A and B are shown apart, each in its own frame.
Chain A
Amino acid sequence: MYENRRLGLAYISPYIIGLIVFTAFPFISSLIISFTEYDLINTPEYVGLDNYEYMLEDDTFYQSMWVTFAYVFLTIPLKLAFALFIAFVLNFKLRGIKFFRTAYYIPSILGSSVAIAVLWRAIFSLDGLLNSFIGVFGIEPISWLGEPVFAMFSVTLLRVWQFGSAMVIFLAALQNVPQSQYEAAMIDGASKWQMFTKITIPLITPVIFFNFIMQTTQAFQEFTAPYVITAGGPAKATYLFSLYIYETAFKHFELGYGSALAWVLFIVVAIFTAISFKSSKYWVFYSGDKGGK
């Protein structure tokens, strides 16, 4: 029965249909639409590479790409470092580890909900919680969402705050590091820091890589937080690329240009992922069959 190829095909057929209808077809279509001008009312008109040429002179495109990269490169290292640090602290036989794990995990399950973005606005708005907090120390209110740098910081912080899921993955990996390795190193007189950088880090590189890939592909597409908290402002300082795609396509109904933007984002993410995978050969160590989960 296990060799029955037709039966196997039958079981995965929902996936194949879904792949064709909801992924492959839209994927190709969006490339085709990107060569047209389409406003939902008039029939699409073929314009060749016009959309892409326009993009080269579009200041908003550059601004949006720039802030997206800034956002990704601010968020990911901070989030992963924090997740690894807390996982490391938790990875000792401490009483109450379950309680702390729960506490740290809660923010990340609420994830990208609008409710949390609303809360963020309440915290960082001019008469918000953070300003009343720093007011206690006699500091003048700061316009967190009104200054470009601070606005980016506020939006970034929301993502970093949700380090819980990366932390749980790190914690599981740390618990899998064989104790014998540390004991051997201890006999050789290794310091704690040496053990961490020479044993722990190399052994968990597959998991670091996994977290890195998942978090970056997601961060490139961040939408809810900047849309709800700052609406991309001030002066497009948090106008991440997904916002630009959304507003182009669904607010200004320029579906052709929107598709072109989406394809550029796709290519950027694809190149980024490809580079990451290529580089992983040099810094990710898979030991035997225990490699990355």
Chain B
Amino acid sequence: MVCKNALVIDWPWAIVFLSKRQVCSKCHAQSVLGYELQKDSTLADANRPLDRNLLRYVWRHTRAEQIWILCVIIASMPTYFLVLDLPVRIINQPIQGDGFEVVGATQEFLNISFSLPEFLGGGEFVIFQGFELERWPYLIALSSLFLGLVCINGLFKFYINTYKGRLGERMLRRMRYQLTDRVLRFPIRHFKRVKGSEIASMVKDEVEPFGEFIGDAFVQPVYLGGQALVAFIFILNQSFWLGMIAVAIIAIQVTLIPYLRRRVLELGRMRQLTARLLSGRIGEIVDGISSIHVNDTSNYERAELSSRLSKIFFIRYELYQRKFFIKFINNFLAQLTPFLFYVVGGYFAIRGTLNVGQLIGVINAYKDLPSPINGLIMWDQKRVDINIKYAQIVEQFNVKDIADAELQQHSDDPVEPLSGEITVNNLNVVDDTGTALVEDADFTIQVNEIACAIGPLGSGAGATADTLAGLINPTSGRVLLNGRQLTELPQRIRGRRFSYCGSDAYLPQSTLLDTLLYVNKHAPLRETDGSNIPEKLHPKTRAEARASGNTLLSYYSDWVDYEAMGISGPEEIYEKVRDVLDVVEMGETVYQLAMRQELDPKQHPELTDKLVEMRKVLREHIDGSEISNLVEVWDWDGYNEHATIAENLLFGTAVETDDVQSSQLVENEYLRSILKKDGLDEAMFDMGVELAETAIELFADLSPGNPFFEQLNFMSPEQLELYGPIVARAKESGFVGVNESDRRMLLRLPFDYVEPRNRLRLLDQELQDKILQARHSFHENLPEEMQNSISVYNLDTYNPHNSVQDNILFGRVAYGSSNGPEKVQALIKALLRKNGMDDDLFRAGLNFDIGTGGKRLSEAQRQRLILARALLKRADLMVVNRGLNALDAKSQEVLIKRVIERARGENGTKPFGIFWVLTSPRMASEFDQVFVFQRQRLTAKGHASLLEDTDDFYKQLVA
């Protein structure tokens, strides 16, 4: 009696509960051990092909965590059970009075005892007698216990869910890292076959659903399977035959559903592939946008896109149909069982072979069976689905001939300079289509030899250079450095002691300076002082990186190898950079970039202050000199003849994306109200009519592509046609009578008018005065919402929306003076130099953002930059494969001569060697050794003077 009313913890739970600590501390130990093992075996792990089965992959990396979370779930069971059980007890006992029939009766609270099942001999073990409580305190105690348990249960859930989430995220992180790590080790030729956007879609999107699954990968089946088993045993216990009915139905489910699912899985795979191809295709559209425009194929692309989307749609539609059909079958079978229970069980009950209590017991027990079984089926469905997705990804990343991770192992130690000779024996290179690129090449060069290779495109010279640089592996034959195979050299030697300039000038987006220093970032050599970390790093950053098998090297360390460049630290970097940029004639470019840059005074307060200072110095210099008529400076009380009417009105720069751009000005209500005040709008309207008439008179019979249209600064060729009828209407009705839309169209025109440029004598002194007045009243009452859309010209402040040059100039260069801009620029440059601002601007120029793929620089500039950084790297052998082909012949010559001069060094020190595949063979005579390639074969070698006499093909090339 006592036992029944007491708070009983069932024995199997209790054992688990009690022994939890040991098991779990073991788990914990195991997980710590796991990390250690992983650390030692990173390389082995990276080299092993990815597991083809996701579960195996997950188990390998999260075994300890999976076991731990299972333990926690089991530990949470008693509370869960009690939370379900307590409300019944609260209602039955203290509220309804069960056990409190006698006045003053008490109940035992927190009685902990075990009752052994009968097959273990029965009996009871009382651990804690509990407290004797009366009805009211007993209600309070039970309710408080309920509240406490709810909290504990909630905390368990919270812990389990975050743990599972973290587990999934770690696995995702590991997987993404591993996949990208493999991309870094793909053989170079493999990249001819893959699309960047497809890889991106796999690494980013396709692995995403795994995260959710990984936390449940092992826990779910164990947990649900356990539940199902318990319910099942209970049924069997009640009635063997009815249990067998349940077994039969489950057997049907288990055999039928995988059969139905086959097509679903196939569809899932197709869905994944088509989606991936779609992202690849969209990437292609973006990359090939110019050829779409020049060939008018946009509609072809649209049709192609639509056909792809339609394919995806029908795949998904069929998928839904089948999925929900399976669900229907599932639900039907689940309901079939109780039907059979009622019919068969009812029959036996009526016959009297089964008692009614048992039947009700079975039916009640069966209530608990379908949901875990369904859960299991769902889990399995997800498992198979995700496994297929996973296999699809793994297939793309388990590439043949992937580089050994050992080759890319990082090292902080400096790499000794190379010397000696490179021997090429019987070198043959065949590409993947079977075309020979090089046949039977045999030669030896000293590492510091100044050699060049010449020959037509595809003659084998380029492929030989790429083989030396390690971009292509020999198909047969050997390339030896002092007797050691070049292919076996780790990347830390090849990547640091060789430099390479190819003709493909792709540069990732970055600043100019970082682009140059990129070639010297091999290892995190100096700890960061924290100034380059944008926001504080999470304290567990390192631990989490380790737990996900990511590299522990810090991105924020200073990776630049200053010693390799021959300097001691970041302070000396600018001198080095200026030196190499001067070799490739980029010094002036960097200065120009600095002058064109828009600087934010908040980020560069000192520099912008100095520039404002320079503005004043320039003014003093100009005033009274012969240059004074070349520049018209901004003056609050004077009309600037060489600026547009819009600029004169606003007296400032329109901040981007705002509504004060000159084409939109006419829409601005506030400005219109200012113009109206002095009748300026009517004057401008008349100007507009005149401008439109002139434009129509001059341009009406020209085709829109005609070069003359470049001179029409206030109208576009397309607009010209519109203005004919507008002018006619305007002349008829005048300023007041014409409709608002026509008025706007005409008012828009004079905003871009510049008298000295357009020379139509439309702007007299009176009108200029009116515009000045309008400027003043415009700024006096500027509404708040427009305060930030104009950056006003102010002699004492730096304008962040103007270029450096415009900020120094603080005015406009006059139209019509010969070479005006050049003269002014030269003056500014001289003044900057005189005032020691060279270095500041050089640094500002190096901060220039080169754009995606370096596209904000010209191809020639990119190639120069790549050559410059190859010099900056101070490698022992510089391989150039037509690396300057975007430059004209004259510039190429200059650069080649300069690089050779560097390679010869002072007093014949020969600091590095060159293997240069030349675009213009005439330069061959500058080199000490010339290799002549013809039809994939090395046909002659020697000094140019020798070849001149002996080799006809050489003579032909050089001629």
Chain A complexes with chain B: no
Contact surface of B with A, Cβ cutoff 8 Å = none
